[in-house]
A and B are shown apart, each in its own frame.
Chain A
C-alpha cells in the first residue's frame, strides 16, 4: 500500500511538473532570465503548489500519524548554517546553468530528451561526491553515529 501511495504521488508529481512546463528548460531559464524576455509563469506554479501544501500539510499534520505509516518523518533541522547557504547557493548556480532541478530531471526521463542523459548522470555524481565526502569525514572525525535526518529533498 505504501508503495502504491508513493507511486500515485509520483504520478501526480511527474504529471504536474510536465503540465507546469517545469520539465522544459527553455521555460525555466525564461523564468530565471529577469534581464531578458522574463516569463513569470513559473512563479504562479510555485505559488499555487505552496498554497496547496500550506493548507494540506496543516490539516495532515493534525493527525496523530500518517494513514499507512507509524509516524511522520519530518526534517528536524531549523538552523540556517553554512552548509545550507553554500549548498543552496551552488544548487541555484547549477539550476541557472542547465535549467533542470532534480524533480524535473527525473520527469524528463519520460519525455525522451538527449539532455537528460547528460544532466542526470552528472547530478547523481554530484550527489555521490557529497555523500562520499561526508561519509569519509564522519568516519575520520566522529564515532559512527546518526548523520541526522535534516535532508528535505
Chain B
C-alpha cells in the first residue's frame, strides 16, 4: 500500500511521495502548490485513523518513555530530513524505487545511525 500510494501520486500528480518534503513544503508557506500537500497529509491521518478503527488496532503508548528522547528525536528527524533532503519514504521508498544511488547511500546511512543509536540507548544506557 505504501508503494502503491507513491506510484499513484507520481502517476497522477507527477510528485514524489516523500513525507518530510511534503510537510516542509507546507512550512515554507503558500507557493501555489500547498493544497495538494494539505490533502496528502489529511489523507495520511485519515488513512491511519480508518485502519485503526476498522481493525481495532490501539496505539501502543509507552507511558514511561522519556519525553526528552521524543523531543530530541523529533528535532533531529526534522532537521536531518530537511538537511539531507529526505526521509524513510523519500529516500527509502521512492529514491530506492527510482534506483537512485544517492538515495541508496542515504538509506544505508540512516539505517546505520538509527541502529547504532537504538543500540546505545537500550544496551549502553539501558533506557526504554
Residues of chain A touching chain B, judged by Cβ–Cβ distance below 8 Å, are 1-20, 22-26, 29, 32-36, 45-46, 48-54, 56-57, 60-61, 63, 65-75, 77-80, 83-115, 118-131, 150-153
Contact = CB atoms under 8 A, between A and B. Distances in A.
A129 B79 contact: yes
A74 B16 contact: yes
A20 to B, nearest CB: 7
A86 to B, nearest CB: 6
Interface residues of B, number: 104
23 contacts: A5-B9, A6-B36, A10-B41, A11-B44, A16-B47, A19-B51, A32-B115, A33-B119, A50-B92, A53-B7, A86-B84, A87-B84, A88-B110, A88-B113, A90-B84, A97-B69, A99-B73, A100-B77, A102-B23, A103-B20, A111-B49, A126-B80, A130-B79
Given A75-B16, A152-B85, A13 B74 contact: no
A54 B10 CA distance: 12
Top-7 shortest CB links A-B: A153-B18, A10-B43, A87-B84, A126-B78, A53-B97, A52-B3, A98-B73
Contacts of A34: 115, 119
Given A12-B1, A13-B5, A15-B51, A53 B94 contact: yes
A121 B14 CA distance: 29
Given A108-B59, A122-B74, A91 B12 contact: no
A68 B13 contact: yes
A2 B13 contact: yes
Contact of B119 (A35, A51, A95): A35
Contacts of B77: 91, 94-95, 98, 100-102, 105, 119, 123, 126
